[in-house]
Amino acid sequence: MTETLFNKRLQVHVKCKDCEERRGNIRVSIELQLTTNPVHKRDLLVRLTDDTDPYFLYNLAISEEDFQSLKVQQGLLVDFASFPQKFIDLLNQCISEQDKENPRFLLQLSPSSPILDHSPAHLNVVETNAFKHLTHLSLKLLHGTDVEIKKYLAVCLSCVKEEKQQLEQRLKKTEDDLSRQLSYTQQ
């Protein structure tokens, strides 16, 4: 069972070693995946995609054990259960600041090498105050494999086809309804 906790398009500052910093938009999705077989297990899935680039896909799965290392490594003070909401709060803070010229909170994506390389990337939530840049959270995501991208695109395709079908039905219904009203009024 998978529960979607967050799925929004956000402005991101792409910063790689050998290229100039640029702004782009990526979609961040956070899902909680519950497995009960063979053992009870909770995983937090973080996914970055780009609505305009079908091949852009970064994934991170955080298990409860992974989270313990992340917690120690980054000095986090929350537990696994409350981490997703804290992460979402940070992302929403970035959204609320993203139209400002000098946002206090921003989302940074730092691929280890140029983005075409399919190497891992760090997603950082960075606060900038008068004194310094403070990294609130830094997650290392892996670029999707061909198989993962293939599966992701198949799901996208099926969703867009479904939306298209609903639009076709709505268009037909709108045409019928309004033509009926029109002919009724003209009588």
Q: Name the residue nearer to its own copies (CB basis): 61 or 149.
A: 149
Q: Decide if residue 142 touches its own copies (CB under 8 A).
A: no
Q: How many CB atoms lie within 10 A of CB 175?
A: 10
101 by DSSP, 3-state: which? coil
Q: Decide if residue 156 touches its own copies (CB under 8 A).
A: yes
Interface with its own copies in residues 114-133 (CB under 8 A): none
Residues 6+ apart with CB under 8 A from 61: 33, 43, 44, 45, 46
Interface with its own copies in residues 98-117 (CB under 8 A): none
Q: Decide if residue 83 touches its own copies (CB under 8 A).
A: no
Interface with its own copies in residues 41-80 (CB under 8 A): 54-55
E strands, the chain, where? 2-14, 22-35, 41-50, 53-63, 105-111, 121-128, 133-143
Question: Per CB under 8 A, which region of 12-20, 87-95, 108-116, 151-159 contacts its own copies?
Answer: 151-159
Q: Name the residue nearer to its own copies (CB basis): 55 or 83.
A: 55
Question: Per CB under 8 A, which region of 20-28, 58-66, 81-89, 172-180 contacts its own copies?
Answer: 172-180
Q: Decide if residue 178 touches its own copies (CB under 8 A).
A: yes
Residues 6+ apart with CB under 8 A from 51: 9, 25, 27
Q: Name the residue nearer to its own copies (CB basis): 119 or 181.
A: 181
Tokens of 46: 């973080």
Residues 6+ apart with CB under 8 A from 38: none
Question: Per CB under 8 A, which region of 6-14, 41-49, 58-66, 167-175 contacts its own copies?
Answer: 167-175
C-alpha to C-alpha distance for 51 and 28, rounded to whole angstroms: 11
Q: Smallest Cα–Cα separation from 31: which of 87, 84, 90, 109?
A: 84
Binding footprint of its own copies on the chain (CB under 8 A): 54-55, 145-147, 149-150, 153-154, 156-158, 160-161, 163-164, 167-168, 170-171, 174-175, 178-179, 181-182, 185-186
